[in-house]
Each structure stands twice: as structure tokens, then as C-alpha cells.
Amino acid sequence: MEITLVRGDITQMKVDAIVNAANCTLLGGGGVDGAIHRAAGRRLLEECKALGGCKTGEAKITQGYRLPATWVIHTPGPRWGGGSHGEPQLLENSYRNSLILAEEKKCRTIAFPSISTGVYHFPLDLAAPIAIRTVRDFPARFIETVFFVCFDKKTFQAYSSALNASR
């Protein structure tokens, strides 16, 4: 499985699945959640309403509607609370449970945003290595390429360092 870093907007990614850094209501929000809902259109929210929310670290899948991606995998990452409330494990769970759902749909390509490092304030230099390691260690059968779509320069640099350190 190949890991590729991209600078840009995840809503433009032509991949089998994009991952949404959601909140537990799954009813949309700001940041990447807001961007994905705006790009997908109202039917995404309709489908999300029927899902009945999602626990932190777990993941649920919907269609992509007007997005170029076929699927959207919604996962609420942990809010940073200082690091002693299981945040690292919950972040790892968000990545792993998203990959599991992508495999169930036999996705070959999947794109992640930097989960929890925006509004949820998970420190970037801790989150990036967790994200890279969890993806690297995942026993993929169908997924060939995992993209990390970094919205800004500092995020791209953090993921570049984490990726290089993991090699």
C-alpha cells in the first residue's frame, strides 16, 4: 500500500472514498466537515440523519453524492484534552475503522484529512505520526493508495516529517 501526501482540498479528490473529520452528531459542522457537506449537497445530510450519530473513534459510511468520490467515511476524531483521556488511541481508532469500512467496499484509493488537528486541537506533531503509523500497519487487501490531503503548509510539513521518519 502506497502513502501519498497532497496539498489541497479533499472535496476535489477523485478517489473511491474520502474521510470526513466529523462530529458525533454526523449533522455537519465547520472545517472539512462543512466543506464536504457543501460539496456533496443536501442528500448527504439526509443520509447522515438516518445514521443516528457516531461515537468518537468509530466510523460510518455514506454515498458521496455530488462529490467526485464514490463514498464518504465519517469519523469523529477525539477532541484534544491534554493527552491523558485516551486521545491517541481514539485517533488511531478513527483511522483504522475508516480503513476497515473502505476495505468492506473494496476501495482501491482513499483520502484522509488531518483528523482532529483543527477545531479539535490535537497537536499536529503528535497526530501525524499516529496517522502514518496506523495506515502503514494496516493489513490492506484492496486499498492500494492512501492519500493524506493537507489543507495548509504546516500540516503538509508535519505529515512529510512523519512519513520520512516512518521509512
Q: Output 64 or 113, the one with its CB closest to ligand APR.
A: 113
9 burial via Cβ count (<10 Å: 0-12, 13-18, 19+):
middle
Nearer to ligand APR, 25 or 70 (CB): 25
Q: Smallest gap, in angstroms, from Cβ of residue 138 to ligand APR?
A: 20
Q: Which of 9, 33, 125, 137 is catalytic?
A: 33
Q: Which residues pair with 4 in a beta bridge?
A: 147
Question: Within 13 Å, how many C-alpha atoms sit on residue 126's CB side?
Answer: 15
- With beta carbons less than 8 A apart as the criterion, state whether 148 and 32 touch: no
111 binds ligand APR per the rule CB under 6 A: no
Scanning 23-31, 43-51, 64-72, 82-90 for contacts with ligand APR by CB under 6 A, the matching segment is: 23-31
Shortest Cβ 92–ligand APR spacing (Å): 14
Give SS3 for 32: helix
Question: Could you say which residues in the range 124-143 bind ligand APR, by CB under 6 A?
Answer: none
Distances (CA, A) of 85 to 4, 51, 89, 91, 153: 30, 26, 9, 11, 29
Chosen residue from 44, 107, 149, 163 binding ligand APR by CB under 6 A: 149
Active-site residue 125, yes or no? no
Q: Which of 93, 97, 98, 116 binds ligand APR (CB under 6 A)?
A: 116
Cβ–Cβ < 8 Å for 41, 134: no
Binding site for ligand APR (CB under 6 A): 9-11, 21-23, 29-35, 77, 113-120, 149, 151-152, 155
Residues acting as catalytic residues = 33
